[in-house]
Amino acid sequence: MRRFTWFNATSITLGFVFLYLPIILLVIYSFNDSRLVTVWGGFSGRWYGEALRNDAFLSAAWNTLQVALVTATVATVLGTLAAIVLVRGGRFLGRTLFGGMVYAPLVMPEVITGLSLLLLFVSLDVPRGLMTIMLAHITFAMCYASVVISARLVSFDRSLEEAALDLGCNQFSAFLRVTLPNILPSIIAAWLLSFTLSLDDLVIASFTSGPGATTLPMRIYSQVRLGVTPEINALSSMLVGLVTVGVIVASLISKRAETRRLAAERAAR
């Protein structure tokens, strides 16, 4: 462990303040009793109640949740398949191109992704709504999922699969009985990551949504343009809490699996 110095302590404090002060302020003001956002009027939880009674917010939240659940599930399945092909498929024609295309949305500006999807849906005459938001979210969440899962697959000992084949499994049951249980933590992490990404996306959802399909970030954004209300603060605080829990759980799961795997590998030597 490194020694404690005032320099270290100061820099880490400044860093965290820079990153988290706005969020902390938001959470604090969500408990503000006053209707004016910037004037402290005493502690109250009433805006949480107001936000939860706001039908527009609730229906947007329900939309968001549906989109996020479907996105996370489909993106994880597709991401797993892509990771298996990329890591295990060996050399096949177009492998580099396929790999590049799977990972491209990682670096693609969201505006471009959103715009191109909008053009696609319009030209194919697909009615826009929750369905199109889901499709759009799946395309970009899938590449994050496949990155997470392929990182685990790369370090997965291939001889385990061979042992399963040797002991009587065919390719499919070897995957199901040996590979899958061992990469499960990374699959869960990929699901949570996709879920979180879908939950807080504004840009792509705005491009691909249609009438009646408003997600929570879109609702908040449109509300804020008319002025920030304490209700928004409360709602945002709840979102922050949800995302934080998701990210923490995902990282805990993958970290615990990682340490267990390392311990197992150390013991193997």
Partner 1 sequence: MPEPPVILAKGTGAATAAGHAGTASGGPGGAKVFAPWNDPDAKPLVEFRSVTKLFGEVAAVDDLSLKIYPREFFALLGPSGCGKTTLMRMLAGFESPTHGEIWLDGKELTGTPPNRRPVNMMFQAYALFPHLSVADNIAFGLRRDGLPKGEVAERVEQMLALVQLHGLATRRPHQLSGGQRQRVALARSLAKRPKMLLLDEPLGALDKKLREQTQFELVSIQERLGTTFLIVTHDQDEAMTVADRIAVMDQGRLVQVAPPAQIYEYPTSRYVADFLGDVNLIEGRVAAMAAENARLTWCEGRPDFTCPANPDLKPGDTAWFGIRPEKVAIDKDMPPDRPGQNAVEGTVWDIGYVGNLSTYHVKLDDGQMVRAQVANRVHLARREISWEDRVWLSWGKDDGVLLAR
Rule CB under 8 A: which residues touch partner 1? 157, 159-160, 162-170, 173, 177-178, 181-182, 260-261, 263-264, 267-269
State the first-to-last Cα distance of the chain, in angstroms, to the nearest integer: 27
DSSP string, 41-91: --B--HHHHHHHH-HHHHHHHHHHHHHHHHHHHHHHHHHHHHHHHHHHS-S
CB of 149 vs partner 1, minimal distance in Å: 17
Q: Give the span between the Cα atoms of 85 and 89, in whole angstroms.
A: 4
CB of 160 vs partner 1, minimal distance in Å: 5
H-state helical runs in 89-177: 95-107, 110-123, 130-154, 158-166, 171-174
Q: Which is nearer to partner 1, 86 or 178 (CB)?
A: 178
Q: Which is nearer to partner 1, 51 or 164 (CB)?
A: 164
Q: Which is nearer to partner 1, 11 or 259 (CB)?
A: 259
Q: Which is nearer to partner 1, 106 or 166 (CB)?
A: 166
CB of 162 vs partner 1, minimal distance in Å: 6
CB of 256 vs partner 1, minimal distance in Å: 13
The three-state secondary structure class of 43 is: strand
